[in-house]
Structure 1
Amino acid sequence: MLISDSHQFVFVHIRKAAGTSLRQILEQVSLPKNNNLWYKFLSRNGFVVDYHKHSFRKHSALLEAERSMPNALFEKYFKFAIVRNPWDRLVSEYEYIKTQPTHSRFNKLAKLSFSEYVIYQSQRPAAHQVNVLKLKDGNLGCDYIGKLESLNESLGVIAENIGVSFADLPHINQVKRRDYRSYYDKPLREQVRTLWQEDVNAFEYDFEDA
């Protein structure tokens, strides 16, 4: 997560949805990460810490910003995220982790078949994009949710609202792979639809949307 006082925004970084590329630009105008061990301990253990001192993780949920920012500022700042087709995103995560031997879950996940990986991820709350974007009341809290599938259009809306240009946006962490559709047979495709139903419904995705 990135927060900017100068440009008044909160960026929620969804895994495998262009977030690493966006960070290269947004970090230049955002608050620096707090690596103080004491504040990191407080932040990781549910204590309320002012957002200037809170140690946000790369993929912190919007709820952390809601808890650590004054209500007036949280309401005022432009809160946004980029989401991705759940079927495509699962394949992207799966293939990416297999290229990262230093990843904390590499030894476990690299041995899984794709269908096994789907089941594993379905049991992790953070693997569902809606969970990262919900507020204390259970509702989605972003002012704008763009889509990776229409990234240029999404970046135009974001740029207009926060006054930052994405003209030099880099492409980072891309892994060459075959089309995500080829990873699915019909039963697995429908299983993902069921397991990620909240994402599918909230962001209006279908299997072919990429």
Structure 2
Amino acid sequence: MIISHQHRFIFAAVPKTGTHSVRQALRLHMGPDDVEQARLIVEKRFPWPELAKVGHGHLSFEEVRPFLGEEAFGAYLKFAFVRNPFDRFVSYCSFATSKQGSFQRDPQGVMRHFLFTAPPENHMVFWPQHRFVTGPDGAVQADMIGKVETMQASYDAICERIGVAPSALEKVNTSQRGDYRDYYDQELIDGVAARYGRDLDLFGYDY
């Protein structure tokens, strides 16, 4: 997550949505009082101990709200990026087993393991995307939601709103795999649709 007091925005970094590329671009515009929390590639912590001890930068708008204050939270532009849950789940499976290489050997076996056998409920990268951008009432707190599928155009539109010059996003921390539809059968389609149904409805995605 990045909070910019200079440009009055809050960027919630939803896991597996190209957040490292966006962070890298936004850092060029951060002022001396702006803050970021990140762990992978760079190590940065928020000045609030309760959030700093979380240890990763994938915080929700709701988590940072009480530390920022209601006036700033309401006034700052809040944005995030989302991704087709079917594609994101394949990316998660590849990421989570990258050291073992098991996804490359048996992708559907890995997908079934995480969906049906041992879902990693405590792993924030596995969590649904809406968890990072909605409040306790289920309402979306983001003012703008970009999509990975149109990432550069979405980022350019966000830059226009926050008043910074857009730049070409670089690919950072990408995985080597094919089109997500190459990995699914009907059981897996139904499993992802059941687990991430709220994301599909909220962000306008389907298989």
- 1:44 deviates by 6.6
Provide the C-alpha distance between the structure 1 equivalents of 2:174 and 2:75, rounded to a whole number of angstroms. Answer: 34
Cα RMSD of the aligned pairs, angstroms, is 2.6
Mapping 1:18-97, distance limit 5 Å: 18-28=18-28, 29=30, 30-33=34-37, 35=45, 39-40=48-49, 42-43=50-51, 57-97=56-96
Residues 136-170 of structure 1: CA deviation (Å, up to 9, x unaligned): 43311000111101112211210111122342421
Aligned-pair CA distance for 1:92: 0.8
- Equivalent residue, structure 2, for 1:196: 196
Any stretches of 5+ residues in structure 1 without a counterpart?
46-54, 102-109
* Identical aligned residues as a percent: 29
Q: Is the 8 A contact 1:122 1:195 kept in 2?
A: no
Contact 2:25 2:167 in 1 (8 A): no
Query: In the TM superposition, what whole-angstrom CA distance separates every residue of 1:52-87 from its partner, at most 9, and x where no partner exists?
Result: xxx784101111121211211111100000000001
Q: Which moved more, 1:86-95 or 1:159-168?
A: 159-168
In structure 2, give the amino acid aligned to 1:118. L
Going from structure 1 to structure 2, the CA distance change for 1:161 and 1:74 (only over 3 Å counts) comes to same
Structure 1-normalised TM-score?
A: 0.79
Which consecutive residues of structure 2, in runs of 5 or more, have no partner in the other structure?
A: 38-43, 101-106
Q: Deviation at 1:12?
A: 0.4
Alignment TM-score, normalising by the size of structure 2 = 0.80
Question: Against the structure 1 CA distance between its residues 195 and 35, is the aligned structure 2 distance closer, same or farther, given a 3 Å change threshold?
Answer: closer
Are the counterparts in 1 of residues 21 and 171 from structure 2 also a CA contact under 8 Å? yes
Distance in 1 (alpha carbons) for counterparts of 2:2 and 2:113? 33
Work out whether 1:113 is the aligned partner of 2:136.
Answer: no
Aligned-partner SS, 1:161: helix
Q: How many residues align?
A: 187
Paired with 1:35 and 1:22, the residues of 2 have a C-alpha distance of: 17
What residue identity is the alignment partner of 1:181?
Answer: R
Provide the residue aligned with 1:52 in structure 2: none
Deviation (angstroms), 1:129? 0.4
State how far apart, in whole Å, the 2-side matches of 1:81 and 1:195 are.
21
